[in-house]
Amino acid sequence: MPANNATQREFSPALALAKRIDQGILLFSQGLGLIVIVVLFLAVFAGVLLRYVSEQGAAWVNELPYLLFPWLCASGIVIAAQMGAHILVEFLLHLLPRRGARALIIITQIMTVGLFSYLTWQGLVIVEMTSIQRYPSLGLPTSYGYSALVVTCFLLALTAFTTLILAFYSQHAPEKLRKSETASEEIQ
């Protein structure tokens, strides 16, 4: 491929949009994780303080982790996907020529988009079923915790879609698409 054509692909609008979407997903996930950690810390601190002052615990302190911990896991899973930090079997990628490795990544990302889109849809069914159950002390529906599953699967499908765009338009080595595109930009 001529250098001029490669340069044009590297600056395509689709690639720029994919990078912007990735930045938004990463920022949202990092913010969510930070907020959840702070709220959990404050809740545990309040529970210890209440137990020390009144010799009784607050029931809501015990329920809050059930509600928030799935969101903390969700943020971590999505951040790892955005950074290219999930387990990837690179052995086959290294055996294939560059075009073959890129084709393999494209095929797996198409399957990943399909899988996580399906899981998002099925997660909505779970959220609907659990919306009638409530946390006794908080009074909130348990579906709030299960919603983390839906959001995670949706963001992972979107991440796989942007990885697909990176695979089509980026000139980086196929096994380094995520590591070089997103992680290095965030560190700087």
Give residue-wise pLDDT tens across range 47-56.
888 888 887 7
User: What ranges do the domains of the chain cover?
Assistant: 3-187
Q: Round to the nearest angstrom and report the end-to-end CA distance of the chain.
A: 30
Per DSSP, what are the bridge partners of residue 73?
A: none
Q: d(Cα 22, Cα 29) in Å, to the nearest integer?
A: 10
* Long-range contact pairs involving 105-111 (C-beta distance under 8 Å, separation at least 24): 105/163, 105/167, 105/174, 105/175, 105/177, 106/164, 106/167, 106/168, 109/160, 109/161, 109/163, 109/164, 109/167, 110/164
Once rounded to an integer, what is the mean pLDDT over residues 105-117? 94
- Output the pLDDT for position 123: 95
- Averaged confidence pLDDT in the chain: 84
Q: What pLDDT band is residue 183 in, cutting at 50, 70 and 90?
A: very low
Say what the pLDDT of residue 110 is: 96
